[in-house]
Amino acid sequence: MAIFKIIFTPTLLILVISISTVFSADQPKTASLRVDGLACPFCAYGLEKKLKKVDGVEKLEIKINEGIVILHFKEGAKIDESLIAKKVKEAGFTPGKFEVDGKSKQEKKETNEHKITLNVDGMSCDGCVSRVKVALSKIDCVQDVEVSLSDKKVTFTCTKGKTDPGQFVDAVEELGFKAEVANN
């Protein structure tokens, strides 16, 4: 019986440690997100207030010069990429590449995702560009907004199949610019 205890106890201990390591390895603890539009500490503070409201966020770091936000989560917390992207948009910024524990997540692209280009007249500076970008980014299906001041064009991806392009034109025209859907 003593030999059984000598062999069984260490084997059981190794098994328990192995199982706990496997289960804890599946729990992501950090996520990083590229955020376009961060320019100053005030911007970072506004974004921080929004992201701290996400369940499970223990602390966060904002690297203004790099446009990166690093979120540290509590043990076992679920990381909801869409909720985090929504909070970033609510703060007036454009979410970009999302990584969990240093690994880029391959997003499943919807089959009805498509590019839209708008011709926009009246933009005269980087402030105008920023306002257009923020306004379009607030629309749920809009991603990857690119504004060219010199070409007077805005290009973005829409993730909904049947979408009225008029809503995009209206969002830009509400800012005081003239907009129309370009012939793609």
Q: In the chain, what are the domain boundaries?
A: 30-104, 114-181
Q: What is the pLDDT of residues 35-57, one digit of tens each?
A: 888 788 888 898 999 999 998 89
pLDDT for the residue 85: 87
Check if 30-104 and 114-181 are the same fold.
Answer: yes
The 10 Å Cβ neighbour count of residue 8 is 10
Q: Please, which residues bridge with residue 80 across strands?
A: none
Higher pLDDT, 150 or 158: 150
Burial 120-153 (b: 16+ CB within 10 A, else e): beebeeeebbbbbbbbbbebebbbebebeeeebe
Higher pLDDT, 14 or 58: 58
Average pLDDT over residues 150-165: 85
What is the Cα–Cα distance from 37 to 43, expressed in whole angstroms?
Answer: 8
Q: In sequence order, what are the residues at sequence separation of 6 or more whose Cβ sits closer than 8 angstroms to the Cβ of residue 7?
A: none
What is the Cα–Cα distance from 43 to 110, expressed in whole angstroms?
Answer: 31
Q: Which fold has domain 30-104?
A: Alpha-Beta Plaits (3.30.70)
What is the Cα–Cα distance from 114 to 25, expressed in whole angstroms?
Answer: 37
pLDDT for the residue 4: 47
Q: Which fold has domain 114-181?
A: Alpha-Beta Plaits (3.30.70)
Q: What is the pTM of this model?
A: 0.46
Average pLDDT over residues 118-139: 92
Tell me which amino acid residue 79 is: I
